[in-house]
Structure 1
Amino acid sequence: MPTTLTQHIVQYIDDRRAVKVEAFEKECDKEKAKITSVEDADTFEANRSAKVAKLELDFTVTHWLDSAAKRAGQISMATHAIKFSHSAAKGTNVLAENLGSDPRYVDTFSIASPAVDAVGNAAALDVARLLQLKDNAGKSLLAYLQEDNIEPLAPLANTPEQLQEWQHGLKQALRDSAPSSHTLAKQVYFPVAQGEYHLLAPLYSSSLSQALYSEINHSRFSQEMKAIRDARKANLPCENLLVAYPNLAVTISGGSKPQNVSQLNSGRGGRTYLLDTRPPTWRNQQQQPKDNNQLFNHSSLLFNTERTVKRIADFMLCILHKPSNLKRREYIQRMVEQIGEQVINDIAIWQQQPAGWTNTYHQLPMHHAQWLDPNNPRWSEKNEDWRDRVSAEFGLWLKDRIDKAAGSGQTFRLSQGEADEWRQTFKQLLWEMK
């Protein structure tokens, strides 16, 4: 409703005034403490009264909106910002609208409500926040202006001419009168005919980055996901799904001044998450384990877990003389779970073999065969819990591998206690991923 948005605009300006007044009063208190004479006190009070009067004038609704309309041209409301290519690039930012979307791709318009960013003079970002104010239905002042609808501003203007000035001035943040690229922007020559090209200038979608950032942060830090992880650690049932994004990378835009790139970038602290898009690693046909010595020491299991095992060993060496704490224990626990999940994923390749394939491998222990060949009819009447024996072997295997990865000059050696703890971890994973 335009009426509620009008109220939000008035409240926003009043809140801005309160912040300025509070900062001004603190500064006055500091200056007042330095006064040593009656003349200085009189001068101080006169200056203070003049500044208070100016503040009150500046933050009257009409005066502030007059100023906002004049400053709006210093910013660009955008979904795609050029400064993500290079913080010194000065080309056009784009507020993309109604471009359509393709269900085969995750793009800006696959988001239900893409966030709108603001790029430009950081001193004018208060105007951007004004344009992003919404009514109770979720429609922003920006959306009203895009429709040439000035109902939210109409009750605040003194004259029709003033209202038109506000509309014209604020809309300067929505368009660029002289679109341009820049030498520091990305550009691609795309061939379209014999000797002819289109010059493409791809722009970074800050809106898509914001959606990805919010989703990943929710999976990592929200109370909902924390409750699910706590239930998992305590072996308690939970109806909700645990969402995780492994192997993330992070890029930083803007260095120590992310606000110089964009408003949303500043809110993210300059961070942008990158998902793992590496192609799958080619695997040759893996030879099935035939005896007790080949399972956990199979080449594929050793290769796929080697890096994580080394990370645990290096971390333990780094904290060797430091006190144990929850954060360090949880880090090791996460790495152990990662190794366990990798082992189970590798074993799944053999579990997909035709049922009964282990019948010809008589040297393969029964508990290994039950794990590797779960659909074998031979197990229909078996009651033994093979998970206990497999988990115990995993705990000892991982303990020995970490000891070995720490090197011959190591100053620690893991005990049966660690093997028992990791046995329980792996057994839990077997039940969860069966």
Structure 2
Amino acid sequence: MSEAQDPAGRIHRIRDAITIFLNDRLQTKLSKLPEEDPKREELAAQYQPAAWLEDAARRVRQIQAVTHALKAVHPDARGTNLYVDPSRMAPHPVVGSHLLGDGFASDVVGNAAALDVYKFLKLEVDGRVLLDRLLEDDPAAVQALSDDETRAREWQAAFVSLVQAREEGVASHTLSKQMYWLTGEDAADDAHYHLLAPLYATSLAQSVHEILQEDRFGEANKAARAARREGREHEDAVRDYPALAVRKLGGTKPQNISQLNSERGGISYLLGSLPPQWDSSVPRQLWSVTSVFGPVLMRYGNVRGTVQAFLYFLEKDPPPNAKTRDRVNDYVNRLIDELVAMASEIRRSLPKGWTADPRCVLAHEERLWLDPWRAEKDEEFRSDWLFMDWPAKIGHRFGNWLNERLKTKFSYVGEVEYRHWKKELLLDEDEIGWARDLHGLRTDLDAPHYIPTRRGTV
């Protein structure tokens, strides 16, 4: 039976979904209160459908559905956010939000305490969400809100305002980014410019995030990578994103930027915008070198500049507070990112098993780290790679290396600092960090993600 033939049944199903939603939220709150607490009765009254919907219709003004958000540009910016249906955008050859079509994820900005209203409006019944039904003036959805038609229409108007502009015109802010864009022929004529205020295309960013997550960690790409290593044909291409960067939005409170940003943990991927550059300097330097923690690492990327900036910051004798600790950890994390990038470049640049060459005199744990594919054919090497505590030894080498760099200016650097640098490396769970890189290698080699030792697991 189609929806048009069963309006009463659809009203009943929508009301059931609303009741279940409210009851689940009520039970969550009641579970935190003792049985004799008088607030339980008050909460039960608040979560009666009519009472809750009345309150939700009031609170929905505190949030707004958007496709383009301002706070991602600057968290303290105040101004206009936009909701623009991608399917209604003009087509053009540049990649943009217009390519999302109908299947886009709208975002929500505003008071995080009112996000439960958005979750309510995203309730799905018969394959369609409640908000879409209200936007299309579905009679069953409207009647499901209340038997009082006047009240139901008032609530409908309030809920659909979620995707409507909240003020006349648009407004920018001193903390938002702005740029003059030449639209005419004369660059010396101010009248030939438009002033643009770029917004963050949050729906497009969400789509990109989902694609990259699947391509980097999905089962299909894992199988394709395994086929490439083994020299087998495979129906899918291997997808890789060199020079991928991660920008964190919102710090420790990503929900203050937007709902989708919170769901992503603040992660916003930035694709490399430069053509690849072949650099063979690192591989040439590895013969007759006992450790990469020396000139090899110092010459890689911006390691030397980061170390110098770190020393300069410490020479200013900053106060021992949270801001200083954050700056110190930022410098250390930059060095860890460079270390992970150097290791990845070495693995890509050199053939599998290169550490078995007599010219390689690297410490054994560094061979395990930098030439993991040797474990595919060398059983003894694989056993060491799987069971030896080499990651901790790399952490030991990193801690000692950074201490040696700092001792050029600060002789008091010692055991406490060494342990902190080592811990920062081994517990780095960033999207492009040490731990994620190690987990990726263990996935590629079909190894367990815990790190076993000969005495048990750690």
TM-score (norm 2): 0.59
Show the counterpart of 2:171.
180
Show the counterpart of 2:20.
14
CA offset at residue 127 of structure 1? 1.2
Q: Give the AA of the match of 1:105.
A: V
Q: Give the AA of the match of 1:166.
A: W
8 Å contact 2:17–2:123 — kept in the other structure?
Answer: no
2-structure distance, mates of 1:177, 1:419? 58
CA offset at residue 146 of structure 1? 3.5
1-structure distance, mates of 2:51, 2:138? 21
1-structure distance, mates of 2:284, 2:134? 58
In structure 2, the CA distance between the partners of 1:110 and 1:228, relative to structure 1 (3 Å rule), is same
CA offset at residue 74 of structure 1? 0.4
2-structure distance, mates of 1:424, 1:151? 65
CA offset at residue 229 of structure 1? 3.6
1-structure distance, mates of 2:124, 2:372? 57
Question: Per-residue displacement from partner, 1:197-234 (whole Å, max 9, x unpaired)?
Answer: 42211111011110111111111222333344445556
CA offset at residue 188 of structure 1? 1.6
8 Å contact 1:10–1:61 — kept in the other structure?
Answer: no
In structure 2, the CA distance between the partners of 1:411 and 1:55, relative to structure 1 (3 Å rule), is closer
1:54 maps to which of 33, 42, 45: 42
**2:286 maps to 1:271:** no
In structure 2, the CA distance between the partners of 1:200 and 1:333, relative to structure 1 (3 Å rule), is closer
2-structure distance, mates of 1:396, 1:163? 72
**2:64 maps to 1:76:** yes
2-structure distance, mates of 1:53, 1:238? 61
1-structure distance, mates of 2:91, 2:63? 30
1:154-169, aligned counterparts within 5 Å? 154-169=143-158
1:318-337, aligned counterparts within 5 Å? 335-337=345-347
2-structure distance, mates of 1:5, 1:245? 48
Show the counterpart of 1:27.
33
Question: Per-residue displacement from partner, 1:228-287 (whole Å, max 9, x unpaired)?
Answer: 444555666643333222221000000000000000000000001111111465xxxxxx
Question: Per-residue displacement from partner, 1:369-408 (whole Å, max 9, x unpaired)?
Answer: xxxxxxxxxxxxxxxxxxxxxx79x8379774x65xx7xx
**2:250 maps to 1:241:** no
Q: Give the AA of the match of 1:108.
A: S
2-structure distance, mates of 1:167, 1:308? 68
CA offset at residue 140 of structure 1? 3.0
Q: Which runs of 5+ in 2 are unaligned?
A: 298-339, 379-458
2-structure distance, mates of 1:142, 1:305? 57
In structure 2, the CA distance between the partners of 1:261 and 1:4, relative to structure 1 (3 Å rule), is farther
Matched position secondary structure for 2:141 = coil
8 Å contact 2:107–2:202 — kept in the other structure?
Answer: yes
> Which structure is richer in relative contact order (CA contacts within 8 A, separation 6 or more)?
1
Show the counterpart of 1:195.
190
Show the counterpart of 1:131.
121
Question: Per-residue displacement from partner, 1:13-60 (whole Å, max 9, x unpaired)?
Answer: 53343343344333316xxxxxxxxxxxxxxx3xx3x42332222222
Q: Which runs of 5+ in 1 are unaligned?
A: 30-44, 282-299, 319-329, 341-390, 426-434
Q: Give the AA of the match of 1:81.
A: A
| Larger gyration radius, structure 1 or structure 2 | 1
- The number of equivalent residue pairs is 318
1-structure distance, mates of 2:270, 2:365? 37
Q: What is the root-mean-square deviation of aligned Cα atoms in Å?
A: 4.1
Q: Give the AA of the match of 1:51.
A: K
CA offset at residue 136 of structure 1? 3.3
2-structure distance, mates of 1:414, 1:130? 54
1:121 maps to which of 94, 111, 122: 111
8 Å contact 1:21–1:55 — kept in the other structure?
Answer: no
CA offset at residue 149 of structure 1? 4.1
**2:255 maps to 1:302:** no
Question: Per-residue displacement from partner, 1:105-127 (whole Å, max 9, x unpaired)?
Answer: 22112124111000000000111
Matched position secondary structure for 2:251 = coil
TM-score (norm 1): 0.61
CA offset at residue 338 of structure 1? 1.0
**2:148 maps to 1:142:** no
8 Å contact 2:33–2:40 — kept in the other structure?
Answer: no
8 Å contact 2:282–2:346 — kept in the other structure?
Answer: no
Show the counterpart of 2:84.
96
Matched position secondary structure for 2:140 = coil
In structure 2, the CA distance between the partners of 1:223 and 1:414, relative to structure 1 (3 Å rule), is closer
